[in-house]
Amino acid sequence: MRQLDRYINRTVFMASLLVLLVVLSLDFIFGFINELKSLQNGYQVSQALMYMVLSFPDRLYQYLPLGAFMGCLIGLGTLANTSELTVIRAAGVSIRRIVWAAMKPALVIVIIGLLLGQFVAPYFQRIAESDRQVERGDSNNLASSGGLWHREGQTFMHFNAVQPNGVLHGVSLFKFGDKHWLESATFAERAIYQSDHWLLENVVTTTLTPNGTHMQRYATEVWKTSLSPRLLNVLSVYPDNLSISGLYTYARYLGKQDLNAKTYWLAFWKKVLRPLATGVLVLVAISFVFGPLRSVTMGFRVFTGIIVGLVFKYVQDLLGPTSMVFGFSPILATLVPIVICAVIGLVLIRRVG
């Protein structure tokens, strides 16, 4: 029986690796072509290629659930097409045991995904994004089209590039008064973190008064803010590219600033529940092989898997923004498609059993 378990494990795991290889190869090629459209200044072909390499862990993390789902569908489907699944059941192996054997590779993928999403992918994605902004020369422009915006109290901030080592490029600070009038605008070429404050370099400050404007230049200036390099590292990448701990930290920080943190809480719950979503998708794949897709061609299985995966993703993507508009919990928006898939999978497997 253990040999049969290992055989099912190996078949499903190898199919998952094949799916990931094909999908990631296509994604890398099309992503690289898309990056070539944004070449400018020092950001040329070699830098675009390096950006794709550095962002590869994040791309792998994003496609792991699809790899587990499609790998299980194709792996068990291959065993069904060759009648090996029928022979295994005839040998007295229960469906429950087959399900558990097919789930084991998915658990390995879930663990790999958790490690990638928490420790590896966010770190390399931050490096990739900051290096791209610096190479494109955005650090020399006032509030470039790239970079990121942030608000703290009555001060609106824009950073053209944020490096993981506590260095900011192209810092713009716009301070507003109580009546929402712009009081001052400051631009610094660079800012370096100094334990409890930032040191701005090559600073130009324009003060606006009813009598006119006044411009001052400083070689360096101290800037005190509650923003730390850790928070800025979170802010410098999209919510979907952040780690679970980073999302939690920054969402709480936004709450203390009375700012809207729904986007980050939604991304947080998506990442927390991703292992459960992966397991449920694998359960659906197993139920399809034993149920409606038992005797169809491999091409039809692949087509069905793509459709189910896309529907699952689109439902989550639709419910996420809907939760922010109508005010219901982002946990509910994330759980609804998972629960629906779990019910479908369990019903189909019980019918077979």
CA distance 82 to 191: 64
Q: Let me know whether 6 and 119 are in one domain.
A: yes
Assess if residue 241 is contained within a domain. no
Assigned token pair, 204? 């130009």
Assess if residue 192 is contained within a domain. yes
Q: Let me know whether 157 and 121 are in one domain.
A: no
Residue 146 pLDDT level (bands cut at 50, 70, 90): low
Residue 69 pLDDT level (bands cut at 50, 70, 90): very high
Q: Let me know whether 25 and 101 are in one domain.
A: yes
Q: Let me know whether 24 and 124 are in one domain.
A: yes
Model pLDDT, residue 147? 75
Looking at the predicted structure, is the pLDDT value of residue 296 above 90?
no
Model pLDDT, residue 113? 94
Model pLDDT, residue 137? 67
Per-residue model confidence as pLDDT tens digits over 81-115: 888 988 888 888 888 899 999 999 999 999 999 99
Other Cβ atoms within 10 Å of 54 Cβ, number: 18
Assess if residue 245 is contained within a domain. no
Among the candidates 188, 217, 235, a domain finishes at: 235
Amino acid at 31: G
Q: Let me know whether 123 and 12 are in one domain.
A: yes
Looking at the predicted structure, is the pLDDT value of residue 144 above 60?
no
Q: Let me know whether 123 and 31 are in one domain.
A: yes
Q: What is the mean pLDDT of the chain?
A: 89
Strands (E), the chain: 148-152, 155-163, 167-176, 182-194, 197-209, 212-223
Q: Let me know whether 166 and 310 are in one domain.
A: no
CA proximity to 104, closest of 175, 172, 6: 6
Helix (H) or strand (E) holding 233: helix 229-235
Model pLDDT, residue 353? 61
Q: Let me know whether 69 and 177 are in one domain.
A: no
Q: Let me know whether 289 and 186 are in one domain.
A: no
Q: Let me know whether 101 and 67 are in one domain.
A: yes
Looking at the predicted structure, is the pLDDT value of residue 154 above 60?
yes
Model pLDDT, residue 29? 96
113 compared with 327, residue with greater pLDDT: 113
Model pLDDT, residue 176? 94
- The total of structural domains in the chain comes to 2
Assess if residue 87 is contained within a domain. yes
Looking at the predicted structure, is the pLDDT value of residue 139 above 60?
no
Assess if residue 143 is contained within a domain. no
Amino acid at 206: T
DSSP string of 282-314, one letter each residue: HHHHHHHHHTTTTTS-HHHHHHHHHHHHHHHHH
Q: Say which residue the tokens 């663990």 belong to.
A: 111
Average pLDDT over residues 206-210: 90
Q: Up-side HSE of residue 181: CA atoms within 13 Å toward CB?
A: 6
Model pLDDT, residue 306? 85
Model pLDDT, residue 13? 95
Model pLDDT, residue 38? 86
Q: What angle do CA 323, 267, 335 make, to 5 degrees?
A: 55
- The strands making up 197-209's β-sheet, listed across from edge to edge, are 148-152, 155-163, 167-176, 182-194, 197-209, 212-223
Ranges 1-10, 114-123, 302-311, most confident: 114-123
Per-residue model confidence as pLDDT tens digits over 231-279: 887 777 788 888 999 899 888 988 887 888 888 999 999 999 999 999 9
Residue 145 pLDDT level (bands cut at 50, 70, 90): low
Contacts of 174 by beta carbon, 8 Å cutoff, 6+ apart: 155, 156, 157, 158, 182, 184, 185, 186
Average pLDDT over residues 56-70: 94
Model pLDDT, residue 250? 87
Q: Let me know whether 95 and 160 are in one domain.
A: no
Model pLDDT, residue 233? 79
Among the candidates 235, 255, 288, a domain finishes at: 235
The percentage of the chain sitting over the pLDDT mark of 70, rounded to a whole number, equals 96
Other Cβ atoms within 10 Å of 77 Cβ, number: 26
Q: Let me know whether 281 and 304 are in one domain.
A: yes
CA distance 128 to 162: 11
Contact yes or no for 169/236 (Cβ under 8 A): no
Among the candidates 219, 235, 251, a domain finishes at: 235
Assess if residue 246 is contained within a domain. no
Task: Determine the structural domain holding residue 24 and report its residue range.
Answer: 2-135+263-352
Assess if residue 231 is contained within a domain. yes
Model pLDDT, residue 59? 95
Assess if residue 336 is contained within a domain. yes
295 compared with 20, residue with greater pLDDT: 20
Per-residue model confidence as pLDDT tens digits over 165-181: 889 988 999 999 888 88
Average pLDDT over residues 289-299: 79
